[in-house]
Amino acid sequence: MSKSDTPATTAAGGPGGSRPGPSVEFTHRQVLTILVGLILGMFLAALDQTIMATAIRTIADDLHGFDLQAWATTAFLITSTISTPLYGKLSDIYGRRGFFLFAIGIFVVGSMLCGLSQNMYELAGFRAVQGIGAGGLMSLALAIIGDIVPPRERAKYQGFFLAVFGTASVLGPILGGFFAGADEILGVDGWRWVFYLNVPVGIAAMAVVANVLHLPHHRVEQRIDWPGAVTLIVGLVPLLTVAEQGRAWGWDSGRAFLCYAIGAVGLIAFVFIERAYKDEALLPLRLFNNRTVAVGSASSAILGMAMFGGLMTLPLYLQIVKGSSATTAGLQMIPFVVGIMAGSIASGQLISRTGRYRIFPIVGSILMTVALGLFATVGADTPLWRTMLIMVLMGLGLGGNMQPMITAVQNAVSPREIGVATSSVTFFRSMGGTLGTAIFLSVLFNVLPGKIKDAFTSAASTPTFRTALEQHPDQAKVLQKATSGGGGDLSDTSWINQLSDTLAHPFKAGFSDGIQVVFLMALGIMLVGLIIVFFLPEIPLSQRSAQQQRADEVGAGETGSAL
């Protein structure tokens, strides 16, 4: 960073002083430069999630652990979720730069190790290492923007972050399909490049961040809430594990009940410890007395449930019902990405001009509610263009909801608690997404056999279906074998590709009916979220960044000491 690009300070001792002065300002050019490093870091986490979705089957087959593949996702999810509040609290105490660099570094190391995996157990362990890094990439990036940009201007820059996730959601399936489909690239198994790709991107991100991110920081002496961190781990690890594995184990199995019991004990202990640690707690309970933080956390959890739990069925619909490949399905999600970007950019610009933010989460929640209701009407014969229009509507709702809520929460707390407040919202959104995915997938696979059986029963009485059976006796045998259990083989749906459109249609219709149940559940949850978001207060947005406010506090303290 050149001398002209150095943040302006007027502390005692000048720009080279050990503490920030009452004015720490960043120009638009400086913010954009820092933003490049933050975006590269976030791109790592966003791309990793989407690229794995299309490559995991090939990876699991090559490592001879198809039945263990869920653990690779579970391990990553557990460590990323639990580490999020830790990054927020520790960065409030010690500063953001070092922890953000650590998050990128550990993610790169985890990626390199994942590429070297020789079996699924190793992959799951190394994915856990990756998750430790991923937990800090999102929350710290948002907190850093909160440090350097005033709330009124913040939404404009945070919109870039959603653009990153949108780009990753398009590129991920394409790259995942490409690498998974290649036998070898430069003498290395193709799927291993899913992880090796993170290495140069991560190194570039670390170089940019190390060079441009120099935030003055005044350390606050506090105890570190290690007991809270331990009890949070004890509480969340079994609950996240059963959320991911419960469908395979059985929700009422002995292992599931053991996880419930351990998790409950851990969370109860966590609450008591947080009360004892007060302001030094990992997640200070006092924060949730702030209505903005309470509404932001609750609505983020519900948003995560509705978003992840509902939208995870869309790729299934596109691939199974519409016959798209994984790569094509990723491209067909572009309207959703366009909606997110448009909603985020529009809300950011309007917040900057008007200084008002409350209306955007409300309108965004309304749009999401309408979109989920429309998704619940999508069937096997619904034209793809109509489904894509609903994707745009859903994206607009998400774009108008997510970043304004982060801005509202950051604006409502002390500048010294930006990290823990931001990480709490991210944490609850992640927890909501995990819970929603577990619940909705469980419901989907419970209702599918009955829905598919009903669809085949109805079709069997039609002349068209009976004629198709007579004309294609070989396909009739495939169909009879696959549906011998009543609802079709859901462990491997590739047999659908062997059938004519007429014979495959009942399965697709039953599958669509099952997905409609999921969207109706997501609609019900989103209605609750809509009610909650109406309680969000409108607090005037500060014209000063958190970094400037902290500098003012330090300057005032030094003046008071001198007097």
Residue 159 lies in a domain: yes
- Residues 472/473/477/482 CA torsion (nearest 10 deg): 20
Residue 16 lies in a domain: no
> Which of 235, 264, 281 is the last residue before a domain boundary?
281
Residue 116 lies in a domain: yes
Name the domain count of the chain: 4
Structure tokens at 261: 């019991």
Residue 521 lies in a domain: yes
Statement to judge: residues 344 and 431 lie in one domain: yes
Q: Residues 338-366: pLDDT tens digits?
A: 888 888 888 888 888 888 889 999 999 99
Statement to judge: residues 370 and 247 lie in one domain: no
Statement to judge: residues 57 and 117 lie in one domain: yes
Statement to judge: residues 261 and 325 lie in one domain: no
- Residues 112/114/116/120 CA torsion (nearest 10 deg): 170
pLDDT given for residue 495 in this prediction: 66
Statement to judge: residues 496 and 515 lie in one domain: no
What does the alpha-carbon distance between residue 45 and residue 80 come to, in Å, rounded to a whole number? 10
| CA neighbours closer than 13 Å in the CB half-sphere of residue 121 | 0
Q: Residues 119-167: pLDDT tens digits?
A: 888 998 999 999 999 888 888 888 888 888 888 777 677 667 767 777 7
pLDDT given for residue 2 in this prediction: 42
Statement to judge: residues 457 and 473 lie in one domain: no
Statement to judge: residues 173 and 61 lie in one domain: yes
pLDDT given for residue 208 in this prediction: 85
Instruction: Tell me which residues of the chain have a pLDDT lower than 70.
Output: 1-26, 53-54, 57, 66-70, 155, 158-159, 162, 216-221, 309-310, 326-327, 475, 478, 480-495, 497-498, 544-563
Statement to judge: residues 446 and 544 lie in one domain: yes
CATH code of residue 299:
1.20.1250.20
> Which of 222, 238, 268 is the last residue before a domain boundary?
222
Statement to judge: residues 51 and 142 lie in one domain: yes
Q: Tell me the three-class secondary structure of 425-487, residue by residue.
A: HHHHHHHHHHHHHHHHHHHHHHHHHHHHHHHHHHHHCCHHHHHHHHHCHHHHHHHHHHCCCCC
> Which of 222, 244, 273 is the last residue before a domain boundary?
222
Which are the contacts of 32, defined by CB distance < 8 A and separation ≥ 6?
none
- Supply angle C-alpha 317, 320, 322, rounded to 5: 75
Statement to judge: residues 521 and 494 lie in one domain: no
Structure tokens at 400: 């108008």
Residue 1 lies in a domain: no
Structure tokens at 127: 């994915």
Statement to judge: residues 174 and 299 lie in one domain: no
Q: Do 85 and 231 meet the contact criterion of CB atoms below 8 Å apart?
A: no
Statement to judge: residues 259 and 333 lie in one domain: no
Strand pairing partners for 184? 189
Residue 155 lies in a domain: yes
Query: In sequence order, what DSSP letters do the residues of 344-412 get, joined into one string?
Result: HHHHHHHHHHH---THHHHHHHHHHHHHHHHHTT--TTS-HHHHHHHHHHHHHHHHHHHHHHHHHHHHH
Domain assignment of residue 272, given as a range: 226-281
Residue 19 lies in a domain: no
Residue 97 lies in a domain: yes
Structure tokens at 328: 């094509």
What global pTM score does this model have? 0.80
Q: Do 508 and 380 meet the contact criterion of CB atoms below 8 Å apart?
A: yes
pLDDT given for residue 494 in this prediction: 63
Report the run of H or E that residue 188 belongs to, with start and end: strand 188-189
**Exposed (0-12), middle (13-18) or buried (19+): which is 478, by Cβ within 10 Å?**
middle
Percent of the chain with pLDDT over 90: 19
